[in-house]
Amino acid sequence: MECNTKTQPLRIGLLGFGHLGQFIYQYIENERHKFIYDFDLIFIWNRSKDIFSTYDKELNQNLIVSTVEEGLQRLPDLVIEVAHPNVIETYGEKILDICNLFIGSPTAFANASLEIALRKKTLESGHVIYIGTGAFWGAEDINKMNERNTLRSLCITMKKHPNSFKLNEPLRSKLIDERTKLGDQPGEIIMYSGPVRELCQLAPNNVNTMAIGAIIASNLGFDRVQGCLIADTSLYDRIIVEIELTGPEKIIDENKQVKFHVKTIRTNPAELGAVTGTATLLSFISSIKRAKGRKPGIHIV
């Protein structure tokens, strides 16, 4: 059952305490000093406890739990995952048995069997899966096209500084080799171009925006939504996301075909080496605030 946040703060569990997890923690703690606040953080879990000792701000040690199961015993209303897609694979169904789940690593859905299992579990448990739009611009408009089955193609290009990537093989070695070839010269390195499903396995921490696009454009899905990942040494202070789509063709003046086409370019300020841009952090908070009142299923907010 959804909690009425107007009368009682939503009880939150947080999985992951990296850059994004720390941002969420600090936001919730700051909000608690207000007369009316939306969230009450009841536990924090991270795959490695070492990160808590290096946190340079005051941290409520009573919030830290050793296992996800220990956190769930505190009966949260919503668990927010900002750790790794493997965490969703391991704990997603357990969480949905207890409460709603906000997934910050939607690349987990590139695993088709996991997506099926989680969709089934949300219906069985009556709990809801939420996914934030993050850096994906124009989500509602693309969702409308998907519902009308007028979306013909969707391509998402992400450009970041090479230091911002956390890659699996063979992309990790490819990036090292290509940077060696460039030397001190600036330039772009096309790391991957093709279906999003495969890329989600190769760069799960870097392409959540692409995974969100594949989830929204469900008629195309992970196999038909295209992703292009580019390392650019000039992008030391920003992350660029380009979203390009096409819709139906229409005959104009009886003989000329014109295709519906949209391309957006989003420049997001980001510190050198950061996986997530600053605007995405704030977008994430807005999405968490919207994570309520939906029926069982998977919802982009």
The whole-model pTM stands at 0.90
Residue 2 in any domain: the answer is no
User: Both 148 and 264 in a single domain?
Assistant: yes
* pLDDT value for 7: 61
User: Nearest to residue 38, comparing CAs of 78, 68, 65, 74?
Assistant: 78
| CATH code where residue 296 lies | 3.40.50.720
Question: Read out DSSP for 209-257?
Answer: HHHHHHHHSTTTHHHHSEEEEEEETT-SSEEEEEEEEEEEEEEETTTEE
Residue 3: predicted pLDDT: 46
Cα atoms in the Cβ-side hemisphere of radius 13 Å centred on 143? 12
Number of alpha carbons in the 13 Å side-chain half-sphere of residue 38: 12
Q: What pLDDT score does 251 carry?
A: 86
What torsion, rounded to 10 degrees, do the Cα atoms 118, 120, 121, 123 define? Answer: 120
Indicate whether 51 belongs to any domain. Answer: yes
Q: What is the pLDDT of residue 1?
A: 46
Q: What total of structural domains would you count in the chain?
A: 2
Domain boundaries, position 131: 10-135+281-300
Q: Is the same domain home to 219 and 205?
A: yes
Across the 301 residues of the chain, what is the mean pLDDT of every consecutive 10-residue run?
A: 62 96 95 87 96 92 97 98 97 98 97 97 98 90 96 98 95 96 90 98 95 97 98 94 96 86 94 79 92 95 94
